[in-house]
Structure 1
Amino acid sequence: MRGPLRPVIACHCVQCRKTSGHYVAATSARRENITVTGDVTWYASSDSARRGFCGFCGSSLFWDGPGVNMSIHAGTLDGATGLREAGHIFCADRGDYYDLPAGLPHAPQDDPNLTTQVDVAARTG
C-alpha cells in the first residue's frame, strides 16, 4: 500500500454488524494505492457495494463502494499503524448490548465529514 490512510471510523450499520458479529472499524485508502497479494473473494452486498474476504481463511478485509477510496478493516493490518479511531457512523443502527464511547463524533447515519477525512499530515506531504 502506498499513500495515506484515513483515520479509523467505526460503522454500526446492520450490514457491518451482521458481517463482523459486532461493528466494523475501518480505515480507507485510494483504490490505486492498494495492492492485494493473495486471493480475495468478492461478495456483492448491495447494488452499489461489495465486500472482500480472504480466500484462504475467510476474514473480512474490504468494503468497496462508491467513491475513490476502498475501506480496509483496520484489524487486518499488520504491525503498528499509527491510526486512531476518529468517529462512529450509523449509530442509530447500533446493537442494544453496547454503549458508544464518549469523546468522539457520533453520526446517526453516514457522515461524509467522517468517512472522507484525510490525515492532516498526509495533506501537507
Structure 2
Amino acid sequence: MTKYTGSCLCGAVTYEVEGPLRPSVACHCSQCRRTSGHYWSATQVPDARLTLTRDDGLRWFRSSGTAERGFCGTCGASLFWRKDGEGMTSIGSGTLDAPDGLTTARHIHVSDKACYYEIEPGPDRID
C-alpha cells in the first residue's frame, strides 16, 4: 500500500498516510482564506489511515460549531480540518511531501472567493 508523508514548516508536526489520496478540493470560503492567507486546498482521508508521527506543535482551533482546524503552534502552518462525527480528516495539500500525485478536482465556495485572483479553468466549481 502506498504511504505518504508530510509536515508543517518547522517539523513540530509530522504525519503519515496509508493508501490512496482523494483529489484535492480548493476551498475559497472566508475561513479558509483567513487561516491560510489564500484559498486552501486539501485532500481527505479516513482518520484510521492518518498517523501523527510527531505532534509536539499540534494545536486545534474550533472554527465553527461543527468543525475544527489543526495547525502548528510553533510555525503557524495550517495542516488539518475535520468536521465532527465524520471520521475523516482533510489534509492541506501543500503539507504533503513530494511526489504526491494530487490534482485539483473542484473548487468550492467560489462565490466567497477574494477579488484579487481568478480561478483557473478546468475543475468543477461549486458555490
Q: Same fold (TM over 0.5)?
A: yes
Relative to structure 2, which stretch is displaced further, 8-17 or 63-72? 63-72
1:29 paired to 2:77: no
Alignment of 1:1-125 (within 5 A): 1-39=17-55, 40-66=58-84, 67-108=86-127
* Cα distance in structure 2, aligned partners of 1:58 and 1:37: 18
TM-score under structure 2 length normalisation: 0.81
* Cα distance in structure 2, aligned partners of 1:31 and 1:55: 21
User: After TM superposition, what 4+ stretches of structure 1 lie above 3 angstroms from structure 2?
Assistant: none
Structure with higher helix content: 1
Alignment gaps of 5+ in structure 1: 109-125
Shift of 1:38: 2.0
* RMSD (CA atoms): 1.1
Alignment gaps of 5+ in structure 2: 1-16
Aligned partner letter, 2:46: R
Aligned partner letter, 1:41: R
What corresponds to 2:4 in structure 1? none
SS in 2 for 1:57: coil
Structure with higher strand content: 2
* Cα distance in structure 2, aligned partners of 1:79 and 1:22: 21
- Aligned length, in residue pairs: 108
SS in 2 for 1:17: helix
Relative to structure 2, which stretch is displaced further, 22-31 or 65-74? 65-74
